[in-house]
């Protein structure tokens, strides 16, 4: 699904250049649920944004669902983004003056889907995240966990191949964080590929595989089963 080879990214700041990603090799197959971990500033968001085609690498190759992602014009990039990717952010990024169901329907509007069908689909996904009763409420009337559920429904509505989540629990208390992760696990159980950036160990362990970024490279990449088995062996 995702195939990345020798990916490099630097940021130019005046005369200085900050080399953030220094040769990343990474593959994710359909149905995986991968945590991308690392300390603050380790390049997690940069990496996810490149996968999400919100940013471009300087060097290396990236193939998404068999399509090479390089030098795409903005129109094609936008089409691929819409078709392949759903985004979930720490700060939810909901539109404050639109109701929950209208927020979920937004990406469908950009796909040119007619209003009735849009609203039906949006309701379907709101039901899936357990918020059918909250459809007409504004984001300001929802709790943090509910807002993130709306954002997840919105990301699902365009039926993307991959969900990309950047610190989806970063603004939530731990109970709510676990609930949101359980929802993502349920979505993954239905076959959706999920990449989830987090710096929290317990959240990462709710994924199936953990990739560690440090100093611009991947320093470990193990299945959660393997990690747990190793821990068992040491006690």
Would you tell me which residues interact with Mg ion (CB under 5 A)?
45
Which listed option, ligand ADP, Mg ion, none, makes contact with residue 18 (CB within 5 to 8 Å by class)?
Answer: ligand ADP
Least separation in angstroms between CB 210 and Mg ion: 16
Query: In angstroms, what is the minimal distance from the CB of 7 to Mg ion?
Result: 17
Residue 90 binds: one of Mg ion, ligand ADP, none (C-beta under 5 to 8 A by kind)? none
By the 8 A CB rule, do 42 and 19 touch? no
**Could you say which of Mg ion, ligand ADP, none residue 41 binds, taking C-beta under 5 to 8 angstroms by partner kind?**
ligand ADP
Q: How far is the CB of 165 from ligand ADP (least distance, A)?
A: 12
**CA 164 – CA 33 distance, rounded (Å):** 10
Between 3 and 56, name the residue whose CB sits nearer to ligand ADP: 56
Residue 139 near which of Mg ion, ligand ADP, none (CB within 5-8 Å, type-dependent): none
Choice from 5, 6, 11, 182 touching ligand ADP (CB under 6 A): 11
Smallest gap from Cβ 166 to Mg ion, in A, equals 6
CB of 42 to ligand ADP, least distance (A): 4
Select the binding partner of residue 46 from Mg ion, ligand ADP, none (C-beta < 5 to 8 A, by kind).
Answer: ligand ADP
3-class SS string, the chain: CEEEEEEEEEEEECCEEEEEEEEEEEEECCCCEEEEECCCCCCHHHHHHHHCCCCCCCEEEEEECCEECCCCCHHHHHHHHHHHEEEEECCCCCCCCCCHHHHHHHHHHHCCCCHHHHHHHHHHHHHHCCCHHHCCCCHHHCCHHHHHHHHHHHHHHCCCCEEEEECCCCCCCHHHHHHHHHHHHHHHHCCCEEEEECCCHHHHCCCCEEEEEECCEEEEEEEHHHHHHHHHHHC
Task: Choose between 148 and 198: whose C-beta lies nearer to ligand ADP.
Answer: 198
State the distance between the two ends of the chain, measured CA to CA, in whole angstroms. Answer: 37
CB-nearer residue toward ligand ADP: 15 or 75: 15
| Residue 145 touches which of ligand ADP, Mg ion, none (Cβ within 5-8 Å per kind) | none
Q: Which residues pair with 42 in a beta bridge?
A: none
Pick out residues in 20-59 that bind ligand ADP (CB under 6 A).
20, 38, 40-46
146 binds ligand ADP (CB under 6 A): no
Bridge partners, residue 13, by sequence: 16
Q: How far, in Å, CA of 102 to CA of 105, rounded?
A: 5
Residue numbers at the binding site for ligand ADP (CB under 6 A):
11, 13, 18, 20, 38, 40-46
């Amino acid at each position: 699904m995702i195939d990345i080879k020798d990916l490099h990214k630097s940021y130019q700041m005046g005369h200085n250049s900050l080399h953030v990603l220094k040769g990343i090799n990474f593959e994710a197959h359909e149905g995986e649920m991968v945590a991308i971990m690392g300390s603050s500033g380790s390049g997690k968001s940069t990496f996810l944004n490149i996968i999400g085609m919100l940013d471009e690498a300087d060097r290396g190759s990236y193939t998404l669902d068999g399509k090479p992602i390089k030098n795409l014009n903005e129109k094609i990039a936008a089409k691929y983004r819409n078709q392949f990717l759903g985004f979930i952010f720490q700060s939810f990024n909901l539109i404050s003056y639109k109701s929950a169901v209208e927020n979920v329907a937004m990406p469908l509007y950009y796909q040119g889907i007619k209003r009735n069908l849009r609203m039906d689909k949006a309701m379907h996904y709101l039901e899936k995240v357990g918020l059918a009763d909250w459809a007409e409420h504004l984001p300001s009337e929802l709790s943090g966990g509910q807002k993130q559920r709306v954002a997840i429904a919105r990301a699902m509505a365009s039926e993307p191949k991959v969900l990309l989540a950047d610190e989806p629990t970063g603004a939530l208390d731990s109970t709510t964080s676990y609930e949101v992760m359980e929802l993502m696990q349920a979505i993954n159980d239905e076959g959706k590929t999920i990449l989830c950036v987090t710096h929290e160990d317990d959240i990462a362990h709710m994924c199936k595989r953990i990739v560690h970024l440090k100093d611009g490279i991947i320093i470990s990449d193990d299945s959660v089963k393997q990690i747990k088995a190793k821990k068992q062996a040491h006690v």
